[in-house]
Each structure stands twice: as C-alpha cells, then as structure tokens.
A = this chain, B = another copy of it.
Amino acid sequence: MTQAQLAERRNSVTQAVAEIREFLGERISTAQAVRDQHGDDVTWHKGVPPDAVAFAENTDECVKIVKICDKYGVPVIPFGTGTSLEGHFTAVHGGISVDMQAMNAILEVNPEDLDCRVQAGVTRKQLNEHLRDTGLFFPIDPGADASLGGMAATRASGTNAVRYGTMRENVLALTAIMANGEVVRTSRRAKKSSAGYDLTRLLVGSEGTLGLITEITLNLQGIPESIVSGVCPFPDIESACNVAIQTIQTGIPIARIELLDEIQIMAGNNYSQLGLEEKPHLFVEFHGTEAGTAEQVELFGEITQEWGGGEFQWAVKTEDRNKLWQARHDAFWASCDLRPGEKSFSTDVCVPISRLAECVMETKKDLDDSGLYGPIVGHVGDGNFHVLVFADPTDPVQLKTSYGFLDRLVLRALSMEGTCTGEHGVGVGKMKFLEAEHGTGVNVMRQIKKALDPKNIMNPGKIFTI
C-alpha cells in the first residue's frame, strides 16, 4: 500500500467508526487492549488487531454496521467467543470486528418441532442449560464453549457428530446480513424443502466471508432414555482405530467414539485426574432405550475384544459421565499444561473411515521421526482426528519442523481422499491447501464471493485469495 492509500484507508475507517458510534455510543471501542483481544487467538497464527470493535446487540444494529462498512469499503469481521483455531477473526485487512457476545438471547424454543432459534452469540453450553427442563438437547460440541454463530460459520462438529451430524445437518435456517446490508432468512422451519438454492448450507462454513450470521434456527434432539458412557484401553493406537472402523462398518449407532492416544491420556491424568493406564483409549457413549444401549454395548464389546481391548470402565452416574466428557473437551488445555512456555497448533484432518488407521499410524510415525511432541485425539467415528503440535515459538528450527509436519499431515489426508479440515475451518491457516483439495471448485467459490461481496468487505483474506 502507498502512503496515500494508507491515509485513505485510515480516513475511511475513521468515518465508519464515527458513524457507527452515533448509534452504538460506547459500544464501539478503539482501545488497543480491546482490539488486541479481538485479533489474536490461542494458536500460532499471528493475529492482526481490527481497527475497532463494535459490540452489537441485535440484527438491526448489525445491518447498520454492515451498511456503513459497505459505504466506506471497510472490512466486517464477526467475532464470537474467540475460540477459533485457524485465525478466522484476525483482521488481515483491518476493519471492524463485530463482537456478537451480547447477542445471546434464545429467541424461541419449539419443543413440539424439536427446533429453536437463537441469536448468534449464544454458546452451546448456554443453550443446553436453557433446554434443561424440556427433555431436549443440542448435540454439537466442539471442545470450546463456542458461540453458535461461530460454530455455524465454521461448520463445526464435535464428539456427537458420528451420530447426530455436524452444523451442516443441524442448522435448519439462518438469518444473515449480506455485504449490501440486505437481511436474508435462508429457510422456513419445515424439516426439508426443495425450494431453491440451499442458502443455509452455503452460509454454514462460509466463515463470515459471504454474510454476517445474526440468528440461527437449530434442530434439537430428544434426550435419550438411556445413556451409557465408558472408556477402554488398547494395546496400541492401530487397534483402537480398527475398533472405530469396525463399529461404523457394523452400523452400531454409537453416539460418541473418541480416540485419545497414550500421550493425551498422560496429559489427562495430570490435568483431569483421569487415573487411566497410559495407553491409547477409546471414550465411547451409547444413546437409546435401556434395551437398545445394552445391545449396543454388547456388540461393541465383541469388537473391542477382537482387537485386544482391556477392561471397560463405565461411567454410570451423570456426574461421572460429565467428568469424563469434560476431560475429553479439556484435552487441549491438558496438553498445554504439560508444555509450559510452548505454543500449540491444534490441527485437524478427516479421511474416509477405511483409511483412518493408516492415516493415524503414518502421522504418529511422522511425529516420532520429526522429534515432535504431538498428542493425537480424534472423533474417529467420522475419520476425523486432531494433532496438537507443541513448539517453542521463539525457536525457528522447531517452528520449521512443525510446519513441515503439518503440511505433510494435510497432504497425507488429501492423498487418502480426505479433507484438509474436518471441523476447524480454513481461516488463514489452511488457505494454501484449498486448491489442492478442491481444484476448479475454488474458482466457483471465488465467483460466488465476488458476486455476493463485490467490495470484498466480509471477513476478507480468509478461505481463499480473491
């Protein structure tokens, strides 16, 4: 950028902020600490702070903000809970971060239709807390207590996706503000429709680059009569993977099947007092009727025995079950706790289930060969797993080794007909792999982006280059 362009950009931002301040008052901030907090995440991605942070409270305010940003050509960057793992909210081209955390109203719950409508800032735990007395729950559970807007924007999933699907399957409709300020409601509440293009699914996973999501209508599930959770150790990670593969191929409707390798178990023993043998484990859960879960447990038990699985520890009481899954969700923090002074890079890939064991084993070998510390945890029923790579961010050799490993991990998944990210999204972190994964499809994505956001103001610099 030339000096003149920089000055013009600063001027545009100043004018946009001034106009937004007219109706938000003190709810727009340019304080450095606030800006920093809205540009940086927990990963290695170098965060760029936005020029200002607007704390919106409803769709109307968001419309005004987008219209002003459109007028001045200033980027609009949605911010939920700040728990993104691929640099989704870093302000690479500056602009206004729209903080949705105050948009936390649960607008309607329709138990008779098993759906609800929430503002984008409602978090998954807040929603489930609210649903507590309805007999319903919302199953999608990324590790963080993320906002549902952010989860829709990144097409998030979690431990229950193997049974209940991801945000792709569980968002029924969205309200989004397009780049021109037009408010779009993507769908009615009917469970299915053949009426026109699937704008819901287009916006789910678009990472704020096509529209600012302000409300979400979600499918809910009935809390099953019987829930059975347990953990089981395996002699090696390959056996654990093969149990996951066979479970899926057999058609057992397992609700959760999570792999934690021996390093992660050690971390969990320290952080969450799991008290487990330092071996690879599967954390599993079965949902159904009393008879149904008993039957699933029996079938699953037969598979684990075939692969040398050890004794199950069952979590019968609700509090034991909660403790178990909290420990699973805390995997990231448990690992961080073991490596003070280092930064982590939590990455994820996803492959067809038949390639899971092979992909995990090759990855494990690559970690060993590279001398990297990297626990593996995974939603293995989906063929999806994470590696938490740790390195000292001030050591260029460690960083280079880590980045080399990450590149090979993605290329390995792609070579197995998999994807560069199963649930974290592209953000800035996976941009370089998108052409390798989608080829000419990226041209189509660009054409859509240019048509819907001709000034490139909606979270620019993410997913792909224009």
Contacts and interface: CB of A to CB of B under 8 A. Distances in A.
Given A110-B354, A291-B295, A384 B422 contact: no
Contacts of A371: none
A156 B433 CA distance: 33
Nearest to A201: B201
Q: How many copies of this chain does one complex carry?
A: 2
Contacts of A434: 195-196
B195 A419 contact: yes
Which of A182, A221, A413 has the largest count of B CB atoms less than 10 A from its CB? A182
Q: How large is the interface on A (under 10, 10 to 19, 20 to 34, 35 or more residues)?
A: 35 or more
A422 B193 contact: yes
A383 interface: yes
A157 interface: yes
A448 B195 CA distance: 15
A288 B384 CA distance: 26
Interface string A427-440: 00010011001111
A7 interface: no
A248 B425 CA distance: 33
B113 A423 contact: no
Interface in A61-107: none
A435 B456 CA distance: 27
Contacts of A448: 197, 202, 448, 451-452
A252 B434 CA distance: 41
Given A197-B206, A197-B448, A352 B191 contact: yes
A194 B190 contact: no
A63 B91 CA distance: 40
Given A182-B440, A191-B353, A419-B193, A204 B198 contact: yes
Given A112-B353, A188-B417, A192-B350, 14 more contacts: A113-B352, A178-B440, A178-B444, A185-B439, A185-B441, A188-B437, A189-B417, A189-B418, A192-B384, A193-B421, A195-B420, A195-B426, A199-B444, A448-B448
22 contacts: A112-B354, A178-B440, A183-B440, A185-B440, A186-B441, A188-B414, A190-B351, A190-B382, A190-B384, A190-B419, A193-B350, A193-B421, A194-B423, A195-B419, A195-B425, A195-B437, A195-B438, A196-B437, A197-B206, A197-B445, A197-B463, A201-B201
Interface of A: 110-115, 154-157, 161, 165-166, 168-169, 178, 182-199, 201-202, 204-206, 210, 221-222, 224, 245, 248-251, 288-289, 291-292, 295, 350-354, 382-384, 413-414, 417-426, 430, 433-434, 437-445, 447-448, 450-452, 463-464
**Shortest Cβ-Cβ A-B pairs, 10 listed:** A451-B451, A201-B201, A193-B419, A222-B251, A112-B354, A190-B350, A189-B417, A155-B194, A113-B352, A194-B425
